[in-house]
Amino acid sequence: MAHLPSLQTLRAFDAAGRLKSYSKAAEELGLTHGAVSHRIRELEERLGVTLFKRVGNTMVLTNEGQLLQVQVRQGLSLLEQAFHAPARPTTKKALQHVVVTAVPSLASTWLFKRLAEYRHERPDVDVSLRVSEALSDYKKEGIDVGVRLGLGGWPGLNAAKMFDEALTPVCTPDYAERLNLKRPEDLKRATLLRNPWTPWSRWFRAAGLDWPEPATGPSFDDAPLLLRSTLEGQGIALGRHWLAVDELRAGKLIAPFDLSVRDDFAYWLVWPTGRSTNASATTFREWLAARAAAEEHPCPIQAAHTVDV
């Protein structure tokens, strides 16, 4: 190994090649200009080639110098990797887990976006969402929190109401303008999108319309699909406020009539009875309850007249 140039010589050559200046290389390495010049001259004598040529005020590598610089840089890089002190391993905090179940309609609309917010706020908590209409055995299946649509009072579960649900016709602004929907009776010109779980007849009665339940028109037994059809301008739907709230706030949908009817069912936050050992589940449940309470009155429809029918 005695025939190899010193590491300081190789570093001086590399710096001068990068900076195109012996003076700047000397400044970077804490050497004198003469020391850098001497080390490069030493290399040239060893190799029998000229490594630099002066062009104006800069020192430019010759072809031989460029070839040597590639090899020197590779060698220095390997040495830096070999002797680089590895960072001390950090102890990664174990993720906390919360298992949530929810009815499909709210899971794919309002809840979907709020879960994304929670994950952003609490990256240390791993939230798993299970979507199901069935009422599961929470303790047996390891479920911490649930969101249900109903009247409340499920055996083996604590329940706290998140928010009441109300129904009102919703459509795109373009659809309302195109059909000039100003008063409830203007619906005779519209395509009424249907859902067997939310019949139009009760809203008709509240609006003073003596109309039978529509027997024709696109029908969807899935509320999010009904909402999607509405967003595509296929007609007007009797929408659930909390499934359409984000689209209403964004102006993608509007409620053209100042009338809502309260649904029989409400959305409930539920969790197993007995003492829970999952503190993260309790924190999440409290966060979701607070988030729901803060949205009790959706801005675009807060002035709507809601009636019980």
Task: Please list the pLDDT of the chain residue by residue as tens digits (309 residues).
Answer: 456 788 888 888 988 888 899 988 888 888 888 888 888 998 898 889 999 999 888 889 998 888 888 888 877 777 766 665 454 444 455 578 899 999 888 888 889 989 999 998 999 999 999 988 887 788 888 899 999 999 988 888 899 999 888 999 999 999 999 999 999 999 999 999 999 989 999 999 999 999 999 999 999 988 889 999 999 999 999 999 889 999 998 999 999 998 999 888 899 999 988 766 688 999 999 999 998 888 755 443 334 455 655
First to last CA, the chain: 96
Instruction: Tell me the pTM.
Output: 0.62
- pLDDT at residue 307, as a whole number: 61
Domains and CATH numbers, the chain: 7-79 (1.10.10.10), 96-307 (3.40.190.290)
β 305-307/259-272 pair status:
parallel
Question: Long-range pairs for 184-190 at CB < 8 Å and ≥24 separation?
Answer: 184/208, 184/209, 184/257, 184/259, 185/209, 187/236, 190/235, 190/236
Name 186's Cβ contacts closer than 8 Å, sequence gap at least 6.
179, 180
* pLDDT at residue 147 in the model: 93
